[in-house]
Amino acid sequence: MKRINTDCATCINTNCFIKKHLHLEKMQDFVLQKNNFICKKGQQCMIEGAPIQGLYFIHKGKVKVLKTGIYGKEHIVRLTQEGDTIGFRGFGTSNRYHIGAAALEDTVLCNFSNEVMQNILKTIPEFTYDMMLFYAEELNKSENNVKKIAQMNVRERVIDTLLYLLKKFGHTNNLIDINLSRKEIADFAGTTDEQVTRIFSSLKKEGLIKMVGKKISLLQVDKMQREIIEHK
DNA sequence: GCATTAATTGGTC
DNA sequence: GACCAATTAATGC
């Protein structure tokens, strides 16, 4: 296996919570206590109902966080990439994960145990405060998502999802930098893969998007934004 | 190259 | 707008 350097000091994920506070002296000891995991594309890196093992930070790769509903239907709760945190929702409040996570591509994870996380939170107020802001922001996003699912129709939700993917993952040569199947987009937008296919077909006919291989290009972002603006 | 999986399209409720 | 079925395209082994 290729050796991967996950040393926090040389890590380029400046949005990572650990990296952001690495300049603090107290942080130095803690970062020595992290573990690393590799999760291959398609593999689950967090299982619903399994005991919580601290917090995970994505060093490289992308992960979908999902909740399994009734009849085994999956709902993608969040999509994450380099520097993002997963497993934070259950942390401290429960001893088992209420969500699962699977790698969308080969992913390298950094993990801090419950004990280490508690030590960090109790000894570094700057970190804890930042974390609190993060939780508040996540709650805000979560509330917005509830509204979206409830008030937007399927087409609007798919458009909203595409705009989100562009904003979150960026693009190269106008192609959004993430590969998701129709089903995964559907699981995120709260619909079915057939609906996503149909809506994509319409959007293509309308000249709003185009596909190059598996990648998606948004041709008229402003027009798409206007279509969903009243629900934002 | 073959087998499995994903995408597309049409139809039914 | 979800679910099912049939066909075709793509991907993995």
Q: Note the pLDDT of residue A72.
A: 80
Residue-level length of chain A: 232
For the entire predicted model, the pTM comes to 0.93
Of A157, A218, A179, A150, nearest to A64 by C-alpha is A179
The residues, ordered by sequence, that sit 6+ positions from A89 with a Cβ below 8 Å of its Cβ are: A98, A99, A138
Q: Is the CB of residue A191 inside 7 Å of nucleic acid strand C?
A: yes
Q: Is the CB of residue A81 inside 7 Å of nucleic acid strand C?
A: no
Which strand B bases fall within 7 angstroms of a protein CB? 6-11
Q: Is the CB of residue A195 inside 7 Å of nucleic acid strand C?
A: yes
Q: Note the pLDDT of residue A70.
A: 78
User: Sheet of A74-80: strands edge to edge?
Assistant: A44-46, A100-103, A63-68, A74-80
CB atoms near residue A45 (< 10 Å): 22
Q: How far is the CA of A127 from the C1' of C3 (A)?
A: 48
Q: How far is the CA of A48 from the C1' of C3 (A)?
A: 27
The residues, ordered by sequence, that sit 6+ positions from A93 with a Cβ below 8 Å of its Cβ are: none
Q: Interior CA angle at A136 toward A130 and A142, to 5°? A: 135
> A74-80 and A85-86: which strand pairing?
unpaired
Q: Is the CB of residue A187 inside 7 Å of nucleic acid strand C?
A: no
Q: What is the 3-state secondary structure (H, E, C) of A1-21?
A: CCCCCCCHHHCCCCCCHHHHC
Q: Is the CB of residue A189 inside 7 Å of nucleic acid strand C?
A: no
DSSP secondary structure letter of residue A99 = S
Q: Mean pLDDT for chain A?
A: 93
Q: How far apart, in whole angstroms, are the C-alpha atoms of residue A17 and residue A110?
A: 12
Decide: A97 and A46 in contact? Cβ < 8 Å. yes
The residues, ordered by sequence, that sit 6+ positions from A134 with a Cβ below 8 Å of its Cβ are: A17, A85, A88
Backbone φ and ψ for A147, nearest 5 degrees, come out as: -60, -45
Nearest residue, CA→C1' of B8: A197
Rounded to whole angstroms, what are the CA distances from A104 to A187, A203, A205? Answer: 14, 25, 29
Decide: A72 and A36 in contact? Cβ < 8 Å. no
Q: Note the pLDDT of residue A1.
A: 46
Q: Is the CB of residue A13 inside 7 Å of nucleic acid strand C?
A: no
Q: How far apart, in whole angstroms, are the C-alpha atoms of residue A128 and residue A77?
A: 24
Of A113, A129, A137, A132, nearest to A55 by C-alpha is A113
Q: Is the CB of residue A213 inside 7 Å of nucleic acid strand C?
A: yes
Of A159, A166, A142, nearest to A230 by C-alpha is A159
Per-residue pLDDT of chain A (232 residues; tens, 9 = 90+): 456 788 999 999 999 999 999 999 999 999 999 999 999 999 999 999 999 999 999 999 999 999 998 788 899 999 999 999 999 877 777 789 999 999 999 999 999 999 999 999 999 999 999 999 999 999 999 999 999 999 999 999 999 999 999 999 999 999 999 999 999 999 999 999 999 999 999 999 999 999 999 999 999 999 999 999 876 5
